[in-house]
Copies of this chain bind each other. A is one copy, B any other.
Amino acid sequence: MIYFFQMILADIGEFGLIEQIQKITGHCSDLILGIGDDAAAWQNEGGITLAATDSLIEGIHFEWNFSNWHDLGWKSLAANLSDIAAVGGKPRVALVALAMPKTTLIENVLNFYKGMSELGKAFNVAIGGGNISDSPQVNITLTVIGYTENSAGLLTRSGAIPGEKIAITGAPGSAAAGLRLLHEKPGLSDKSARQLVQCFLKPYPRLIEGLLLAEEGVKTAIDTSDGLIADLRHILKASRVSAIIDTDKLPVAPLVEASFTYTQALGLALTGGEDYELLFTADDATIQEITGRLKTPVTVIGEIIQLQPESVKLTGKSAGCIKLKTEGWKHFA
């Protein structure tokens, strides 16, 4: 029995807290996926139901000088769809709990729903209602419920095996680059800067990619919303393995390379959060098959190795320039 007398959240962090919560909610062992995975999953008569929830909070996850309500609607749905993508599922319905001051302009709220509906229509996700509350600040919590057709197809964090390659969709770091441009060069209005900012404000969830991974027999995946290295560590911890990442192989978006030094760009790719790429592990043949079937680029960036405790080793000619001081986005840090 551990006591937490007078300890605060900042002392143990989000993941320390999650471990303690898992001990309390022990009656949930009939779930296929539960606390600690991207989405919850459970067996029903006709298949497996999936659900994921995520919050965007004013001043913590977004700032009004960068975001508008329409983009926020899009982004809050995208974050949840990405969690469904990360377990290889299909989203079906979104519920919205919207807390906001009573002085909020109706027009803004409706723009929020328009942004959400725009993305919802693209992926056939219905807005199933929810809850509207008064609150001194804006807090948006979305829950998406989805399904998979067969239990074999679920992607989890815990299936990585030594010898498997580590691969990633797209070019991680683009969203973090967009956010940094907003902060450091707010006046920048050339096309490439605008495109990076869009990666941050209106990310696309990798739903088609997640479904294909599951279909091709991939067992282990995560979305990179906390940053590539931080999310890789979640896989390593759950799978009890280590990883080598070759920084020379990291796909860095040309737009990011054009706006930052090479070392900065690598840093953004490795530790920048807010991306919705899928990081996964599989054998060479499977990755080749997936690469052939997807339009989205897929790049092998490293390998799973047998080593305890879990660790990430960087190789490649620029590895020495990268210090993994920050492991990505951390709550309560």
Asked if B60 contacts A128 (CB within 8 A), the reply is no
Which residues from chain B contact A49 at a C-beta distance below 8 Å?
44, 49, 92-93, 145
Q: Is the CB of A134 within 8 A of B332?
A: yes
Binds B, one of A34-42, A283-291, A304-312, A319-327: A34-42
Contact A55 B106 (CB under 8 A): no
- Copies in the assembly, this chain: 2
Is A137 an interface residue, CB under 8 A from the partner? yes
A174 on the interface (CB 8 Å rule)? no
A190 located at the interface, meaning its Cβ lies under 8 Å from any Cβ of chain B in the complex: no
A258 interface residue per 8 A CB criterion:
no
CB <8 Å contact, B134 and A57: yes
Q: How far is the CB of A73 from chain B (nearest CB, A)?
A: 10
A53 to chain B: which residues have CB within 8 Å?
95-97, 130-131, 141, 143
Q: Is A132 an interface residue (CB 8 A)?
A: yes
Task: Tell me the complex Cα distance, A11–B33, Å.
Answer: 43
Give per-residue flags for A107-145: 1 if the beta carbon is below 8 A from chain B beta carbons, else 0.
Answer: 101100110010011000011111111111101010101
Asked whether any CB of chain B lies closer than 8 Å to the CB of A6, the reply is: yes
Q: Identify A102's interface contact among B10, B59, B110, CB under 8 A.
A: B10
A45 CB, min distance to chain B CBs, angstroms: 3
Query: Are A129's CB and B36's CB within 8 A?
Result: yes
Q: Does A331 contact B (CB under 8 A)?
A: yes
Most chain B C-beta atoms within 10 Å of own C-beta, residue among A42, A107, A128 = A128
Complex-state Cα separation, A17 to B130, whole angstroms: 13
A9 at the interface (CB under 8 A from B): yes
| Smallest beta-carbon distance A66→chain B, Å | 18
B132 close to A99 (CB less than 8 A)? no
CA distance A4 to B93 in the complex (A): 28
Tell yes or no: A152 within 8 A of B by CB.
no
Which partner residue on chain B sits nearest A7 by CB separation?
Answer: B106
User: Are A133 and B55 in contact, with the CB atoms below 8 A?
Assistant: yes
Contact with B along A165-178 (1 / 0, CB 8 A): 00000000000000
Task: Kindly specify which of A22-30, A193-201, A204-212, A261-269 makes contact with the partner chain.
Answer: A22-30
Q: A187 to chain B: which residues have CB within 8 Å?
A: none
Partner of A113, one of B7, B21, B121: B21
A104 within 8 A of B: yes
3 residue pairs, one from A and one from B, having the closest CB atoms: A46-B46, A40-B128, A45-B46
| A contact set with B: CB distance below 8 Å | 4-12, 14, 17-18, 20-21, 24-25, 27-28, 30-31, 33-37, 39-40, 42, 44-47, 49, 51-55, 57, 59-61, 92-93, 95-97, 99-107, 109-110, 113-114, 117, 120-121, 126-137, 139, 141, 143, 145, 147, 331-332
User: Can you list 5 A-B pairs, Cβ within 8 angstroms, ordered by A?
Assistant: A4-B106, A20-B106, A27-B121, A44-B46, A53-B97
Q: A42-B92, A45-B46 are in contact. List 11 more A-B contacts (CB 8 A).
A: A8-B105, A21-B109, A35-B130, A36-B129, A46-B47, A53-B97, A55-B97, A55-B99, A102-B332, A132-B331, A145-B145
